Amino acid sequence: MRRNPANSGTRKTDNRLIGYGGPSSIGRMNANPQPEPAKTPPGPVNNPPEPAKSPPEPVEALIVVDVQSAFFAGEGAAPHAAAVQERTEDLVDRARAAGALIVHLQNDGAPGMSDEPGTQGWELHLPVTPGPREVVIRKTLDDGFHETPLGELLTETGVRSLAVCGVMSEMCVLGTARTALEREYRVVLPHDAHGTYDVPPAPGETEGVPAAMASRVAEWALGDEVEIVAYAKDVPFQAPPGPAAT
């Protein structure tokens, strides 16, 4: 995946948190281990989120971001990708059962990257049930809306609310969620269903940023419009009001 400078945005001062009690360790991924990995400090960072006090309203679409074999299987797979995968599978199953729209975003990596088109790593890691309510959309940048039919599809099906899950928290998950917010969609981000890699130390520094912290910072960067839900299992779905995609 490549970073998209257009996704820099303006950081806001708060998040809308639903049942959030602090970052979990599900996003602790590292395909390129550092000699001196960052140590996770004690305290709230390691505490699991508290149960939601009130469940969110149902969403009409699920955007599954870059759940591809490069990041979930084989050599270089994320150490804790299984947790993100399990929660994503549950989200997909329940979205299908409710008749919600499901969009699998598939990143086309640059030549030589682990997700380069045509390679095993580029393949989607979860089975897809193609149909009017479940589609695959390929992309080349972090933002799943950029030069793709995603926006048109959401409009055609009448979607106004959506959940986002997958990898990487601070790149494609953030970029896609941010554009959805800018387009005035209601966006729900289940905290335990997205993840990233440990961030290596900056030049001159001795410690990097643990993946769990990087994921939480990505949530924070979305500002006070996004709904952060502690557990993916608490995200409800419903069918969108518009016709199925053709």
Catalytic residue from among 67, 100, 154, 172: 172
**Contacts (Cβ under 8 Å, ≥6 apart) of 11:** 220, 221, 223
CA distance linking residue 119 with residue 74, whole number of Å: 13
Active site residue 172: yes
CA distance linking residue 27 with residue 79, whole number of Å: 9
CA distance linking residue 11 with residue 211, whole number of Å: 20
First to last CA, the chain: 29
* Residue 233 buriedness (CB in 10 A; 0-12 / 13-18 / 19+): middle
CB 124 within 8 A of CB 104: yes
Backbone phi and psi for residue 135, each to the nearest 5 degrees, phi listed first = -135, 160
List the one residue out of 198, 141, 149, 137 whose CA is nearest residue 172: 141
Active site residues: 172
